[in-house]
Structure 1
Amino acid sequence: MPESISKTQYLQTILELSVGDESTKISNNQIAEHLNVTPSSVSNMLAKLQEAGEVDVVPYYGVTLTKPGRATALRLIRSHRLIETFGAMKLGLSISEAHSNADNLDHDANDQFINALDKYLGFPELSPHGLVIPDIEHHYHPKSLRALREANDNETVTINSFTEDLELLQYTETLQLDLNSTWTIKERLPFDGPLVLVSGDRKLQVTQHAADFIYIND
């Protein structure tokens, strides 16, 4: 992954993990788990971002975005999710295909293009995988959601959204685990095994790791 993309993905990840709250400090371990990178890689990148004035790092407490860092993250999240929506809604791409193409286009799209695309799409509020799209003024108020892994045994849940990760989106498509579908947590297999989900005649097994990045309605 090019370094320029890596930096912006870090900014986006910090914003997403904080659920848009400017004061919430995000730990290196949270970022490492979310991006599937090593803690040392996180430390190195945060040092670069702090030097660039885009994050504030408080040792042993975590990191927050600066005003410029937050502005960059919001602009890119808006661009990415609108391009995803166009790919899925108008071009018939799968969510994972729309996401992959948006990754290649979102950094180069200017505000004029993105605002025109927003209008063309009818000002959608959610991306194809259920995440909030910042509006033209970059207002961003995502809901605080539970991860699927936090659901209780025998609880019935509705799938709200998936985090922005290509492998996760491909995984949910392979399982045919759809947004807004309703499932009951039947059991958790031993030795940190998968969650067993049941809906009517269908039964799925979802890994514990994937369940950390699949969100459900409270």
Structure 2
Amino acid sequence: MADSVSKTIYLQTILELTYGQSREQVANNQIAEHLHVTPSSVSNMMAKLQESGEVDVEPYYGVTLTPKGQQIALRLTRIHRLMEVFFSEKLHLSSTNAYANAVHFDHHADDTLLTALDDFLGHPQTCPHGLPIPDATYTCDSHPHRNLNTLVAGTEFTIVGFNEDAELLEYLELTGVTLNSTWKFIGRMPFSGPLVIESLVSKKQIQISEHAANYVYTN
């Protein structure tokens, strides 16, 4: 992966992990987990991004996007999520497949294509994974949400979004967790085991790992 592309992917990742909250800090290990790279690789890239004025690094606490870094990340995120909508709605790819293919296009689209695509799709507000799409001014309104692993037993909820990670999306497809599906949080298995949730429609219970549940968003 080219260094210039690597930088933009890191910026997008930081934006996504904060769910669009520009001044929220992200720990290096969170970035490493999301990108499946080593913590040392993250540290090296954060040093480069800080030098170029795209992130602020607070040792031992995490990183935040600067206005410059956020502008770059919002533009790329807008392109990526519009591509996902196109692949999903018009080409009928699965949400996982739409995500995987959008990665190959989002760094090369120009503003003319971006505007045309947005118009063609009718200005969608969210991508197939429920995440907000930045508008034409690169403003991104984050919707109120809770992480699945923060709920208490007995809570009924609707899935409103997923973190965009290929392995997570494949995992959720296998477990049958879909956007806008409704569930009840039953509880956690002993010894830091997985979370148990029950479909409000089928009454089927499934288990979701604590790690995955941290990246599943509910109302």
> TM-score, normalized by length of structure 1?
0.92
| 1:67 Cα deviation after fit | 2.4
Q: Aligned partners of 1:59, 1:65: CA distance in 2, in Å?
A: 15
Partner of 2:60: 60
Alignment of 1:65-144 (within 5 A): 65-144=65-144
Aligned 8 A contact 2:21 2:142 in 1: no
> What number of residue pairs does the alignment pair up?
217
Match of 1:207 in 2: 209
Aligned AA (2:179): L
In structure 2, the residue matched to 1:164 is: 164
- The RMSD of aligned alpha carbons is 1.6
Give the partner amino acid of 1:81.
Answer: R
Cα distance between partner residues in 1 of 2:61 and 2:170:
34
SS of residue in 2 equivalent to 1:104: coil
- Provide Cα deviations, 1:24-82, integer angstroms capped at 9, x if missing partner: 33232332343343322221110111122211223234322222211110110000000
Which region of structure 1 is more displaced relative to structure 2, 122-131 or 15-24? Answer: 15-24
DSSP-derived class of the 2:6 partner: helix
Does the 8 Å CA contact 1:197/1:203 hold for their aligned counterparts? yes
Unaligned runs of 5+ in 1: none
Q: Identify the residue that residue 18 of structure 1 maps to in structure 2.
A: 18
Return the offset for 1:17.
2.8
Letter in 2 for 1:207: S
Query: 3-state DSSP class of the match of 1:105?
Result: coil
Give the corresponding residue for 1:35.
Answer: 35
Q: Which amino acid aligns with 2:206?
A: L
SS of the aligned residue for 2:103 comes to helix
**1:7 offset after TM fit, Å?**
1.8
Cα distance in 1 for partners of 2:62, 2:167 equals: 27
Question: d(CA) in 1 for partners of 2:8 and 2:124?
Answer: 23
Q: Secondary structure at the match of 1:25?
A: coil
Q: Is the 8 A contact 1:130 1:179 kept in 2?
A: yes
1:133-183 deviations in Å (ceiling 9; x for gaps): 001111111124211111111211110100110111111111121111111
For 1:20, give the aligned amino acid. Answer: G
- Aligned to 2:107, what secondary structure does the other structure show? coil
Opposite residue 56 of structure 2, the aligned amino acid is D
CA distance in 2, matches of 1:202, 1:64: 40
Residues in 2 aligned to 1:144 and 1:14: alpha-carbon distance in whole angstroms: 18
Which residue of 1 is the match for residue 196 of structure 2? 196
- With over 3 angstroms needed to count, the CA separation of the structure-2 counterparts of 1:92 and 1:204, relative to structure 1, is same
For 2:192 and 2:6, locate their aligned partners in 1 and report how far apart those are by CA, in whole Å: 31
